[in-house]
């Protein structure tokens, strides 16, 4: 692999003007297509094959009006009056009459009154789903009802026609980019070096976003797909470029010519980028095994963003390195403890396993170095001096953080998760207070009447049976058509209450001729399928990690340790998410509108994305340790030296990831917020505690066994050579001894 990527990097560097022009033309062409033939995104949470989805399909066929979107209009009379008083009643009647004339409205159902006498709830039916409504339909409805507000009534809108739209938070996202820029500036100490990863990542994200708009013209993509793709594409795009640019500057500091350094950085760091990107892509594409279309679309969209990021890193980065030329050569060294401040091959003789990592300026007797040790050197020395207590502390600590994950509950977001100042959230709360929580999530029961001698009597009997089930607050009058009866059932509990899920299962068990559907029932089925998929998907991901890392590092200990570390990261990230979004710890600090069940597809998205990112850090950190061991055969010294080479870049990459993900938390909606939070926390834990603490501790404990692989297995596995061992040697002419090695 390294040889092929070396040729690719050399070509991109040599033909840099053509490569840059090609990428700019791609961006302009895709952007032009997005602006002319691009489609729109939807919130179609369908789950083919489930009982609720099959019932919904029947409902659309027989009762098309009932399968469309529904808007709730909540009227509340002023304090001291009732909605039935002449003034409020007249204002409400005029508003509903105007609503009947609003665009695309199929029917306005007469309002029902709450027991308090102040609140009324009317429903507006549309013939199509929310995704197919004209963008101006809901604003027109609100405008038509505006006179009721002017008459003194409180009026709010909710129902399935409204929702927590994905969007907003752009200032927060900009803050994430700015933080990434600051981290790059601190890491490189150069505006040019910091600008390359940022510009290439933005180009990749722009291309991906425009491409998804084009694809949306022919395929049904959820509104969350572009946000997830942007979030992930921006993070990995910056990180992948960071790894290649950092390796390039290291080699320039050793005196390597610019052209050869660009090609060799693409071959070595680029090989790790390919592997890391491949793990993310496979994990995201693996979401298709859950067999939920919107989740598959989210995974494939995010995988496309990673593919573009890898392609940009392997082609555009070496081209831009050519444009930058010798300006990227570092001028000074950071305070270090050893090899990152000396030419690459100067320390191959190594030190004893028990010898602490020293600065190249240490005297010959091993006395105090003339240059202060870096934080990374002090950290890895402390970790590997007492590796067993350190490893146990990390495992126990993360195990404690993961404890809340045992109480994880999943559900799809509803209007109760919308911002507190939104009209749909206000309507949700008013309905719950005035009528009961179940009115926010009514169920639709379909009864098959084929062969019934008296369909109406059979439907009435079924409605009576449904009304006798515990947990039912209200049963509507059956509506008959096409051999089916439709019955609206209002639960006594809210849409995300566990008792509502139990009620759905009770209703389904009444008779084979009864099916339950509606937004609430479909959400319950989605959450149930996703809950059942978590363990199989985790096993697939962990198995993939074991196999790929075994191929890359030709070791047994490294992949087993990496997989177990990944499980610790996932468990702690889920535990923290449950503590914040279910238990309410620090919920106000990050703007959580309502605590309750966690977004149903968050855990599986977290597994897919965090797996790839964890393998990023594993590869870039352990690869340098493995490279050291291959040359010196000194286990402990190799761990310390390899850590010293890679720690600064891995830390910078993790900070960038955390900044990008965290920037989507404050302004994110109920769908994106828990995903962004879990990813930010997961990256923090995985990078700092697992990869930069547990990994060196375990490898120090394992000693030479860390790099052991049975001979028969070594012969069977392919040799990917991500470290560039098969590249021809290059003559280096170091021009300075204080070169920056990051």
Mean pLDDT per block of 10 residues along the chain (742 residues) reads 88 95 95 88 75 87 81 94 94 94 91 92 88 87 92 93 59 72 85 90 92 87 83 87 90 90 91 84 82 84 92 95 90 45 36 37 37 80 94 96 93 83 92 93 91 89 94 93 92 92 94 90 88 83 80 86 92 95 88 84 87 83 84 90 89 88 77 89 95 95 90 81 66 42 34
Instruction: State how far the Cα of 623 lies from the Cα of 610, in Å rounded to an integer.
Output: 19
List the alpha helices (DSSP H) in 216-292: 224-253, 258-285
The 10 Å Cβ neighbour count of residue 568 is 22
Beta strand 514-517 with 107-113 is unpaired
Distances (CA, A) of 679 to 327, 499, 570, 572, 592: 35, 30, 9, 11, 16
Quote the tokens at residue 613: 């990112």
Quote the tokens at residue 492: 């006594």
Distances (CA, A) of 671 to 228, 452, 517: 10, 44, 22
Instruction: State how far the Cα of 192 lies from the Cα of 178, in Å rounded to an integer.
Output: 15
Supply the pLDDT for residue 576.
Answer: 96
Instruction: State how far the Cα of 507 lies from the Cα of 52, in Å rounded to an integer.
Output: 12
Supply the pLDDT for residue 488.
Answer: 92
**467 sits in which H/E element:** helix 455-467
Instruction: State how far the Cα of 199 lies from the Cα of 321, in Å rounded to an integer.
Output: 13
Fold of 439-525: Alpha-Beta Plaits (3.30.70)
Is there a contact between 318 and 262 (Cβ–Cβ < 8 Å)? yes
Supply the pLDDT for residue 59.
Answer: 86
Supply the pLDDT for residue 668.
Answer: 60
Supply the pLDDT for residue 358.
Answer: 40
Is there a contact between 673 and 560 (Cβ–Cβ < 8 Å)? no
Which 3 state secondary structure label does DSSP give 409?
coil
In the numeric block, the tokens 């895709």 are attached to: 30
Instruction: State how far the Cα of 541 lies from the Cα of 283, in Å rounded to an integer.
Output: 7
Quote the tokens at residue 219: 């395929």
Supply the pLDDT for residue 370.
Answer: 43
Supply the pLDDT for residue 365.
Answer: 31
Q: Spell out the domain ranges in the chain.
A: 2-37+167-343+371-406+526-716, 69-158, 439-525
Instruction: State how far the Cα of 624 lies from the Cα of 639, in Å rounded to an integer.
Output: 8
Is there a contact between 272 and 249 (Cβ–Cβ < 8 Å)? no
Instruction: State how far the Cα of 676 lies from the Cα of 94, in Å rounded to an integer.
Output: 45
Which 3 state secondary structure label does DSSP give 222?
strand
Question: Which phi and psi (to 5°) does residue 446 adopt?
Answer: -105, 130
Quote the tokens at residue 242: 């960071």
Supply the pLDDT for residue 38.
Answer: 84
Instruction: State how far the Cα of 54 lies from the Cα of 508, in Å rounded to an integer.
Output: 13
Same fold for the pair 69-158 and 439-525: yes
Listed in sequence order, the residues at least 6 apart from 503 whose beta carbon sits closer than 8 Å to its beta carbon are 443, 469, 470, 471, 472, 491, 493
Beta strand 598-599 with 410-411 is parallel
Instruction: State how far the Cα of 116 lies from the Cα of 236, in Å rounded to an integer.
Output: 55
In the numeric block, the tokens 């991906």 are attached to: 208
The 10 Å Cβ neighbour count of residue 639 is 32
Nearest in space to 660 (alpha carbons), one of 642, 684, 691: 684
Nearest in space to 643 (alpha carbons), one of 347, 276, 379: 379
Torsion, Cα of 647, 653, 659, 660 (10° steps)? -160
Nearest in space to 274 (alpha carbons), one of 724, 693, 600: 724
Instruction: State how far the Cα of 69 lies from the Cα of 253, in Å rounded to an integer.
Output: 63
In the CATH scheme, what architecture does the domain 69-158 have? 2-Layer Sandwich (3.30)
């Amino acid at each position: 692999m390294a040889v092929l990527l070396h040729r690719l990097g050399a070509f991109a560097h040599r033909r840099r003007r053509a490569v840059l022009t090609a990428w700019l033309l791609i961006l302009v062409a895709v952007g032009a297509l997005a602006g002319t033939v691009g489609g729109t995104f939807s919130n179609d949470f369908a789950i083919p094959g489930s009982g609720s989805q099959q019932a919904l399909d029947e409902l659309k066929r027989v009762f098309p009006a009932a399968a469309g979107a529904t808007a709730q209009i909540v009227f509340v009379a002023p304090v001291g009056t009732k909605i039935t008083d002449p003034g409020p009643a007249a204002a409400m009647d005029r508003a509903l009459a105007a609503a009947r004339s609003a665009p695309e409205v199929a029917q306005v159902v007469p309002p029902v009154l709450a027991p308090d006498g102040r609140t009324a709830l009317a429903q507006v039916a549309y013939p199509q789903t929310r995704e197919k409504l004209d963008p101006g339909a809901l604003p027109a409805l609100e405008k038509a009802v505006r006179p009721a507000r002017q008459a003194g009534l409180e009026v709010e809108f909710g129902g399935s026609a409204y929702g927590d739209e994905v969007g907003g938070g752009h200032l927060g996202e900009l803050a994430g980019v700015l933080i990434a820029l600051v981290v790059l500036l601190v890491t490189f100490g150069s505006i040019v070096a910091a600008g390359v990863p940022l510009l290439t990542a933005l180009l990749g994200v722009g291309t991906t976003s425009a491409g998804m708009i084009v694809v949306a013209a022919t395929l049904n993509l959820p509104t969350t797909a572009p946000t997830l793709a942007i979030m992930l594409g921006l993070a990995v795009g910056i990180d992948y470029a960071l790894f290649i640019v950092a390796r390039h500057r290291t080699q320039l500091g050793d005196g390597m010519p610019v052209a050869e350094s660009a090609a060799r950085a693409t071959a070595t760091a680029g090989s790790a980028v390919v592997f890391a990107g491949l793990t993310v892509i496979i994990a995201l594409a693996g979401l298709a095994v859950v067999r939920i279309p919107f989740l598959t679309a989210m995974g494939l969209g995010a995988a496309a963003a990673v593919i573009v990021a890898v392609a940009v890193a392997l082609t555009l980065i070496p081209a831009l390195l050519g444009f930058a030329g010798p300006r990227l050569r570092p001028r000074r060294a950071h305070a270090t403890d050893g090899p990152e401040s000396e030419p690459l091959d100067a320390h191959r003789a190594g030190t004893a396993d028990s010898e602490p990592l020293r600065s190249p300026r240490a005297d010959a007797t091993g006395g105090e170095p003339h240059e202060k040790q870096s934080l990374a050197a002090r950290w890895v020395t402390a970790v590997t001096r007492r590796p067993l207590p350190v490893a146990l502390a990390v495992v126990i600590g993360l195990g404690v953080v993961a404890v809340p994950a045992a109480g994880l509950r999943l559900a799809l977001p509803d209007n109760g998760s919308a911002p507190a100042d939104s009209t749909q959230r206000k309507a949700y709360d008013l309905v719950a207070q005035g009528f009961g929580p179940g009115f926010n999530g009514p169920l639709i029961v379909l009864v098959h009447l084929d062969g019934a001698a008296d369909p109406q009597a059979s439907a009435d009997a079924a409605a009576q049976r449904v009304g006798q089930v515990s947990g039912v607050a209200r049963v509507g009058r059956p509506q008959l058509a096409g051999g089916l009866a439709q019955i609206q059932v209002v639960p006594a509990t809210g849409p995300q209450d566990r008792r509502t899920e139990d009620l759905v299962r009770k209703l389904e068990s009444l008779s084979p001729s009864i099916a339950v559907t509606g937004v609430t029932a479909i959400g319950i089925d989605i959450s149930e399928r996703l809950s059942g998929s978590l363990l199989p998907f985790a096993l697939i991901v962990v198995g993939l990690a074991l196999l790929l890392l075994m191929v890359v590092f030709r070791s047994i200990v490294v992949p087993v340790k990496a997989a177990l570390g990944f499980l610790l990261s996932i468990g702690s990230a889920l535990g923290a998410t449950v503590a914040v979004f279910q238990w309410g710890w620090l919920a106000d600090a990050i703007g959580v509108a309502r605590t309750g069940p966690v977004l149903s597809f968050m855990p599986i998205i977290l597994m897919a994305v965090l797996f790839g990112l964890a393998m990023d850090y594993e590869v870039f950190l352990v690869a340098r340790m493995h490279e050291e061991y291959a040359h010196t055969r000194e286990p402990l010294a190799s761990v310390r030296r390899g850590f010293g080479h890679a720690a600064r870049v891995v830390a910078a990459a993790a900070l960038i990831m955390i900044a990008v993900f965290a920037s989507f938390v404050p302004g994110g909606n109920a769908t994106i917020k828990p995903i962004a939070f879990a990813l930010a926390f997961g990256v923090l834990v995985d990078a700092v505690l697992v990869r930069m603490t547990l990994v060196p501790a375990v490898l120090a404990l394992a000693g030479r066994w860390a790099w052991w692989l049975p001979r028969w297995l070594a012969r069977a596995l392919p040799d990917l050579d991500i470290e560039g061992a098969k590249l021809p040697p290059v003559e280096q002419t170091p021009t300075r001894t204080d070169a920056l090695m990051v």
